[in-house]
Amino acid sequence: MRLQGKVAVITGGASGIGRATVLKFIQEGAKVVIADMNLTQAEAVAVEVDSLGFPGAAVAVRTDVSAYGDVEAAVALAVETFGRLDVIFNNAGIAGGKALLDHDPEVDYAPMIRVDQDGVYYGILAAGRQFRDQGTGGVIISTSSIYGEQAAELSFTYSAAKAAVISFTRSAAYELAEFGIRAVAITPGRVGTAIINQFSEELRTTFASEQLRNKMTEPDEIANVVAFLASDESNVINGTVVHVDDGYSSFKQRLDLPTF
């Protein structure tokens, strides 16, 4: 088990990529703090962990990542419960979009920046301080997006926040290397989470066609990569962006070519 003995905080751990990563980490031998705004759902994931034969391996805590005190408390809970911290997965985020000129800044800009951008900053800061004080190093993994590297429809704020995550990751890797801390960002493409699955079948088919396998990525597939990045097997991956987008960023669209 590649994460045996490691302790992780996973934000947004109650659903989607976060939940899949909680279960993957547990199966790989880790202890996990499930940090999520939805405490009821986070507690349900902790019960699920118990039922899989890993009693006490996960604890849930209500965490609003837009509040530094909450993120700091999740880190402190990991140390209090399991004795240390080795990994933080800054995964919590919100989505949504509107044409730029239709924005209400208090609705269409500020909330997303607080969660998707500030929440990652707070995770890097809180975990980085804990890793430094432990003197044991650690790993910071943060969820960016394909939208963090390109312009896209109705995504002015979302793209900006996800681009910031990439910049945070590079700067954190540079500044924290002396403490034995690695920082990595991942950029998912079209993942079959509740956010996307709520859309029409037609739109989901379009989303799937944007990836090379012509299908949506499963949360478990992202979790597999995150577990690898959290492990000692990836010690040489630092300060970089790992594309987990099934080729989304490699091409623009499929064409029905004429016969030549």
Q: Which residues are 58's β-sheet partners? A: 32
For residue 212, the model assigns a pLDDT of 92
- DSSP states along 97-159: ---GGG--IIIIIHHHIIIIIIHHHHHHHHHHHHHHHHTS-EEEEEE--GGGSS--TT-HHHH
Q: Is residue 37 part of a domain?
A: yes
Range of the domain at 200: 7-241
Task: Give the number of domains in the chain.
Answer: 1
Residue among 122, 147, 158, 248 flagged as catalytic: 158
Below-50 pLDDT ranges, the chain: none
CA dihedral (100, 101, 106, 108) in degrees, to 10, reads -30
Identify whether 68 is a catalytic site residue. Answer: no
| 250 assigned to some structural domain | no
99 assigned to some structural domain: yes
Is 227 inside a domain boundary?
yes
User: Does 231 map to a domain?
Assistant: yes
pLDDT at 75: 98
DSSP letters spanning 177-194: GGGTEEEEEEEE-SB-SH
Residue 114 lies in a domain: yes
Residue 253 lies in a domain: no
pLDDT computed for residue 152 by the predictor = 86
Q: What is the pLDDT of residue 260?
A: 64
Planar angle of CA 225, 146, 218, nearest 5 degrees: 45
225 in Cβ contact with 244 (< 8 Å): yes
- Which of these, 16, 131, 28, lies nearest to 78 by C-alpha position? 131
CATH number at residue 139: 3.40.50.720
Q: Is residue 68 part of a domain?
A: yes
The token duo for 116 is 């998707």
